[in-house]
Structure 1
Amino acid sequence: MKVVLIEGDGIGPEVTAAACRVVRAAGVDIDWVRADAGLGAAERYGEPLPEQTLDLIKHHRVALKGPCTTPVGKGFRSINVRLRQGLDLYASLRPVRTLPGIKTPFEAVDLIVVRENTEGLYAGLEHQVVPGVVESLRVITRTAADRIVRFAFEQARHSDRHLVTFCHKADVMRLSDGLFLECARAVADEYPFIRFDEKPIDNVCMELALDPTKFDVLVMENLFGDVISDLCAGLVGGLGVVPGANLGTRYAVFEAVHGSAPDIAGKGLANPIAVVRSAAMLLDHVGERAAAARVERAVARTLEAKVGLTRDLGGDGNTASITDQLVKNLGS
């Protein structure tokens, strides 16, 4: 089986190498097809997301991606946004659950954030009206709204979940979020066996801070999803332990959702858990469900044992030591 591997920037090569080692130890034989994206690609090709990288993903259909650096307020446009739009990866899937050995304010958090990935303010339609005034267009279409809500209900159906909460601000953005809410209600009618709730996004933020265990599947537009998915990651230990996937009808890209951490790049200190768990999602996606479950169990055992953990996880280990423990715990 061939899968595209984008190592990314900063700590990307280190954490993706750890993930590849864990996948191999789990007994899955993957031929990793390396592709470039990020600052290194920009230096080599004059383009941070070369066309040949997109072509490789289109050919092989599935990719594992490390973090890529995006300059703030200058330079090239976000590689993640371009990947999602170029491959029509319309659904961002972020499972968030409490992990053993990580102290957090809440126990038994187990929810999924589903984010529309191609529209909203992140459509990138901005222009300067006059000097000092910039206008950004927020795009919501019935087609995209319908398919992301339907995706959320299908996720609930296939993962034995019983509540889908649609997050909106239709009281203020009456046309755009009004259309989205109308679509959500119509799709919900097709799934009478799954409860449906609709909440303003500010209420959702407050309720997540008070008791995130009441939520099951959350679905929302692009900008809201960007914020809420990171907020939810913070409920269970942060971006270093949460996996992510970007899914479309034909293609799938699995990625760690944290940054490239250039300050520790090359020092062997990076925590690979997020990309290892993203690789587990990839395994599940391609039908290697037993191996995916083994990887998740190895992560849980490693965190619970507190041996070899990196500094951000409260240990004094490094990338190599935590990867050693993950591989060891695959067989226990």
Structure 2
Amino acid sequence: MRNCIRSAFRQNLQLRGAWSQNYLQRPGEGALKNVTLIPGVGIGPEITNSVRTVFEALHVPIKFDVLDNFNFENDDSKKQLRKNECILLGVMTEKNQKYTDNYKFYKYLDLYANITFAFSFEGITQRHHNTDIVVIRENTEGEYSGVEHEVYPGVVESIKVTTKQASLRIAEYAFEFAHLSGRKKVTAVHKANIMKLVDGLFLQACREVAQRYSFIKYEEMIIDNCCMQLVKNPTQFDVMVMPNLYGSIVQNVVAGITGGVGMAAGASIGKDHALFSQGCRHTGRDIAGKNVVNPSAMLVSSTLLLRHLGLPNFADQICRAVQHTIQDKNIKTKDIGGNATTDQFTSEVIKSLGR
């Protein structure tokens, strides 16, 4: 349980404190809190249903405003997005053009910091032990700026946008997160040896911020070497900060070495809104609707939501229940070496509440 607590469960107000020094004062635990819920597509409805079932069993004081048929191109849907500060998201992607590009969604809410937690979880067989990594990804620009065009038949350009303002903002978030979480090192991941201007600007911003946090070790690593080092020796990393595309890659690598997509919790943080979802944005269409998906990552992400809203007691109970289910009851879904269904896993988590 130690690694779980340090990686995600212990974060308490760190997520909230790092993204805004002026967050709203919230009522006590007894007050009902409204949260927007977007089940989405693929495995999204199943993993969010697991969270809802656990919340109901624990009588968590949250009311979900459910957007079942969310369509970003619909003005009504976009208005609903801004209604509540917090959003719980299953999986969102394009499906028959109904769901628009992810980058527009995150940019619309200015969810500039995407965080993925990857840690060794007792009870799951892994190649590496004592891994405890937080990947912080700039979430609004880079290769995912959405600026593409055909300059000549058969010749297409995709513009990578990097700004000093966004680079400073994500670097400041990473170092403040490390400071508030008691972490010792920040690694900036880049490809400035080739993309000297865009990634050079990102590194310049990271170096400026690093000077203000002299008590935190700072290092830089090229993305190629970073991926090799992660597979070879992931325990050398602590907090990692990087542009958008590299973050998408590294998030999946760290998830893979610590149990897979079903074990990596995540959040996307902005000044006015906070979104909680799995750390990796996989639709899982091949397993959707088969009652085999692992809801652990979504359950852990929901505890980050609870801590963010000032409900740590409920978060602690769910954390312990997930850990007990996997480690002591040995109830696991197929992706982590077991045969339990999604419903069976969720039921065991509920039975373990209050331990």
Q: TM-score, normalised by structure 1?
A: 0.92
Q: Could you say which residue in structure 2 is the equivalent of 1:188?
A: 210
Question: d(CA) in 2 for partners of 1:54 and 1:252?
Answer: 15
Against the structure 1 CA distance between its residues 202 and 263, is the aligned structure 2 distance closer, same or farther, given a 3 Å change threshold? closer
Question: d(CA) in 2 for partners of 1:64 and 1:96?
Answer: 19
Q: Could you say which residue in structure 2 is the equivalent of 1:228?
A: 250
Question: d(CA) in 1 for partners of 2:223 and 2:109?
Answer: 28
Q: CA deviation at 1:102?
A: 1.0
Q: Could you say which residue in structure 1 is the equivalent of 2:49?
A: 17
- Out of 234, 237, 242, the residue aligned to residue 212 of structure 1 is 234
Q: CA deviation at 1:287?
A: 1.5
Q: CA deviation at 1:210?
A: 1.2
**Which stretch has the larger CA shift, 98-107 or 27-36?**
27-36
| Matching of residue 317 in structure 1 with residue 340 in structure 2 | yes
- Out of 41, 44, 63, the residue aligned to residue 87 of structure 2 is 63
Q: CA deviation at 1:303?
A: 1.1
Q: Could you say which residue in structure 1 is the equivalent of 2:320?
A: 297
Give unmatched runs, 5+ long, in structure 1: 42-46
Is this contact kept in 2: 1:127–1:134, CA < 8 A?
yes
| Matching of residue 275 in structure 1 with residue 298 in structure 2 | yes
Is this contact kept in 1: 2:260–2:335, CA < 8 A?
no
Question: d(CA) in 2 for partners of 1:325 and 1:207?
Answer: 37
- Out of 161, 165, 184, the residue aligned to residue 143 of structure 1 is 165
Q: CA deviation at 1:285?
A: 1.3
Q: Could you say which residue in structure 2 is the equivalent of 1:3?
A: 35
Q: CA deviation at 1:301?
A: 1.3
Is this contact kept in 1: 2:115–2:267, CA < 8 A?
yes
Question: d(CA) in 1 for partners of 2:328 and 2:101?
Answer: 37
SS at match of 1:193: coil
Question: d(CA) in 1 for partners of 2:160 and 2:42?
Answer: 32
Aligned Cα RMSD in Å?
1.8
Is this contact kept in 1: 2:72–2:105, CA < 8 A?
no
Is this contact kept in 2: 1:4–1:35, CA < 8 A?
yes
Specify the code of the residue in structure 1 equivalent to 2:143.
L
Is this contact kept in 2: 1:167–1:201, CA < 8 A?
yes
Question: d(CA) in 1 for partners of 2:114 and 2:329?
Answer: 31
Against the structure 1 CA distance between its residues 27 and 159, is the aligned structure 2 distance closer, same or farther, given a 3 Å change threshold? farther
- Deviation string, structure 1 residues 142-170 (Cα, Å, up to 9, x no partner): 10000000000111011110101111111
Q: CA deviation at 1:305?
A: 2.7
Q: Could you say which residue in structure 1 is the equivalent of 2:189?
A: 167
Q: CA deviation at 1:101?
A: 1.2
Q: CA deviation at 1:76?
A: 6.3
Q: CA deviation at 1:27?
A: 4.3
Q: TM-score, normalised by structure 2?
A: 0.86
| Matching of residue 152 in structure 1 with residue 174 in structure 2 | yes
- Deviation string, structure 1 residues 161-180 (Cα, Å, up to 9, x no partner): 01011111111111111111
- Deviation string, structure 1 residues 41-93 (Cα, Å, up to 9, x no partner): 4xxxxx4553333322312110101112435xx94675432221100000001
Against the structure 1 CA distance between its residues 201 and 81, is the aligned structure 2 distance closer, same or farther, given a 3 Å change threshold? same
Is this contact kept in 2: 1:308–1:318, CA < 8 A?
no
Q: CA deviation at 1:10?
A: 2.5
Q: Could you say which residue in structure 2 is the equivalent of 1:44?
A: none
Specify the code of the residue in structure 2 equivalent to 1:22.
V
Specify the code of the residue in structure 2 equivalent to 1:290.
N
Specify the code of the residue in structure 2 equivalent to 1:309.
K
Question: d(CA) in 1 for partners of 2:154 and 2:98?
Answer: 22
Q: Could you say which residue in structure 2 is the equivalent of 1:131?
A: 153
Identity %: 40
Q: CA deviation at 1:97?
A: 0.5
Is this contact kept in 2: 1:91–1:247, CA < 8 A?
yes
Q: CA deviation at 1:23?
A: 2.6
Structure 1 runs (4+) deviating above 6 angstroms are: none
Question: d(CA) in 1 for partners of 2:77 and 2:303?
Answer: 22
- The count of corresponding residues between Structure 1 and Structure 2 is 322
